[in-house]
Each structure stands twice: as C-alpha cells, then as structure tokens.
A and B are shown apart, each in its own frame.
Chain A
Amino acid sequence: MSETNLKVKVWRGAEQGEFVEYLVPRNSNQTVLDVVTYIQRKLDPTLSYRFACRVGMCGSCAMTVNGVARWTCRTHVAKIVEGDALEIAPLNNLPVIKDLATDMREFFNKWKGAVGFFKGEQTRHDDFAIVKPDSEERQLANAGIECIGCAVCYASCDVVASRSDYLGPAALNRAWTLTNDVRDTQQLDRLRAVAGDAGCHTCHTHGSCTERCPKQLEPTAGISGLKKLVARAAVRGTKWGKL
C-alpha cells in the first residue's frame, strides 16, 4: 500500500564516504529497519548493516536516524520522518567498518574495563542464592538491568565524543547494576575500575543517555549512584572495605 516514496539518504563508505539517496516505497507501520532492508534487498545488495532479532531485544540495529541515535527495528518511520526525507548514518562515537555497521569492540571492551561482568562464589552444586525482590539492592539493580547493549547511549554521549577513554554510560550502568548484586564478589575491584577521570567522575550529567535510551533506563542515575558509592569508599569505606 505504497502512498508515496521516501527519499532516504544512506551513509556509504567507512570513515570517509558520502550520503547516497534511494527512493523507497512508503508503507504503513514501516520501521526504519524495514527501509534499510528494502534498500539492501531490492536496490543495492552491497549495503552493509547489522540486525538480528527485529523485535528490540538484541541491540544490534542501532543507527543514527535524522541525526539521532535510535533502535531502528522499533522506530516507526511515521514518527520521525521529516516531510518525506530520512537520513540514515552509522552510530556516532564508534569507528565505522562499512556503511551502517560500526566496530563495537571498544564499546564492549569498556564493559570489561568497568568490571561489568558477574563473578560469584557459589557453584551449580550450591543452592540458589535468595535475593528478596523488594530489597533495596534488587530494586536498584532492576532499574538498570534491561540494557540490551545497543550503544545508543554511548553514541549520544557528549563526554564520550570529547574523551575517547571515558567508559561511557552503558558500561557504567552495567557496573552500577552489579554493585547492587549481593552475590557478586568483585565489588572493590569494580569501584576502583570506575573511579576517576575515565570513569564515573567524568560524567557531566547532561542526561542524553537517559533521554535516548530505547529501554527507558537511566544511566545518569546509575552513574550518580556510582559517584556517591566510590566517594564513600574512598573517604569513609563501605561494607566491602576502603579504596
């Protein structure tokens, strides 16, 4: 049920490249990912982009659409189209491999750098750890746990843009959820990793990550929690010890 054509400018190339315009039939309930897929399947099979689940779970299809980082599989064209024009580019703050696909290694390495992974002391032979759903830690962890790793926050962060060593909102959000995981055994290491100039204290609290997160998470709040926790650990000490 094509009513008209969309004029879609798509970034072609790597760091150096140009926008190329394609005409794509407009359909009702069409997502930005549908548009990109149409171009790749019908107009130019050399277009590179990344996607997997198409239902907002995997976090692989984020792109810059009309200047704003978005998850393309859940973004309806009708909600963001300007007239009949769309401009689709790769995510900011990440090296471009080709066209719309970015190199996300640094993004995920920073999760590791923030000790953004779980390590417990129990084995499969032990009984389940009991964490009360209404405990404060569980509630705080819940608030940030649904991150899908799409890097929309990372691409939207002004501090990441100006400081390439900054861990970024996603890694710090993950670190924050883990500081609230009572089973985890690396708490002091994590606080050490996120302290200082490349960590939580660099955040300017602009809030772009929170505004753009497609899962409505609040990395800004988590980073602010980390700032308080790290400062307390440095000055007075925490239940895990002192930095």
Chain B
Amino acid sequence: MSLAISNTALLQARLWYAQRISAMVLGLCVAIHLFIMFYAIRGGLTAGEILGRTQGNWLFAIFYEVFVLACLVHAPIGLANILRENFPRSPVVGVLPWILAALILVLGTTAVIGVFTGGVGR
C-alpha cells in the first residue's frame, strides 16, 4: 500500500513547522524586548531619549527587524488556521492572511526604519 499525500497536507505540515520555529524566535524576542523596556524606563523616558539611543544603532534595527519577520511568519499562519476552521469554504481564507502579512511587513519595517533614522526629514 502506498498512500499519496495531498499538497495541502504537506503544506500544512511545513506551515506548522514554520509557525513553531517563528514562535521560538518570538518568545526570545519578546523576552529581550521586555527586558530592554524595563531597563530603559528606569528614570523616566522621552521620545527624544528613545530616538537618541536608537538612531544609527544597527544592532537595534536588526533585532527589531527579526522581530517583525518572526511576526510576519507566525501571525498569518495562525489567522489562516482560525479562518479555515470557521469558514472552510470562504475565499477569505486565501486572502486575509496575505493582507495581514503585507501589513505586518510594511508597517513593522516602516517603524524600524523610523526609529533607526529618526524619521523622514530629520
């Protein structure tokens, strides 16, 4: 006996894997993010101070872009799972996760660039 595996099942197995790996990255990122946040606000904090630290800081930019990329992988897969279960025959299953992915990538990267450069025109 030899069973064929459907493309959907294979894709789902791969997506599951991608979601678990991105969850590990996210877990680490969130922990570091919280730690830095608590550390940074000890003596009060202004927007100017934040930008002063983050502008031109490559380490900061790379860390937060990794954070954005992990979200980009993780969240749309989760949303697709929820949609597939609740609306199995609806076309939104194939559309909404991609829109969410595009939003996370564009908005997230814009934010990272913003704090790295200090905002356009500065």
Contact = CB atoms under 8 A, between A and B. Distances in A.
Q: Do A and B bind each other?
A: yes
Interface of A: 115, 162-163, 186, 189, 192-193, 195-197, 199, 201-202, 227, 230-235, 243
A238 to B, nearest CB: 12
A115 B1 CA distance: 10
B18 to A, nearest CB: 9
Interface in B83-112: 84-85
B9 A197 contact: yes
B85 A196 contact: no
A204 B13 CA distance: 15
Given A162-B85, A235-B17, A243 B10 contact: yes
Indicate the member of A186, A197, A202, A232 with the most B CB atoms within 10 Å: A197
Given A195-B10, A196-B6, A196-B9, A231 B1 contact: no
Interface of B: 1-6, 8-10, 12-14, 16-17, 20, 84-85
Q: Is the interface of B mostly helix, strand, loop or mixed?
A: helix
5 A-B pairs closest in CB distance: A196-B9, A234-B13, A231-B17, A192-B5, A195-B9
Contacts of B16: 201, 227, 230-231
B67 to A, nearest CB: 23
Given A162-B85, A163-B85, A197-B84, A234 B6 contact: no
B40 to A, nearest CB: 36
A231 B13 contact: yes
Given A231-B20, A234-B17, A192 B12 contact: no
Contacts of B9: 192, 195-197, 199
A233 B13 contact: yes
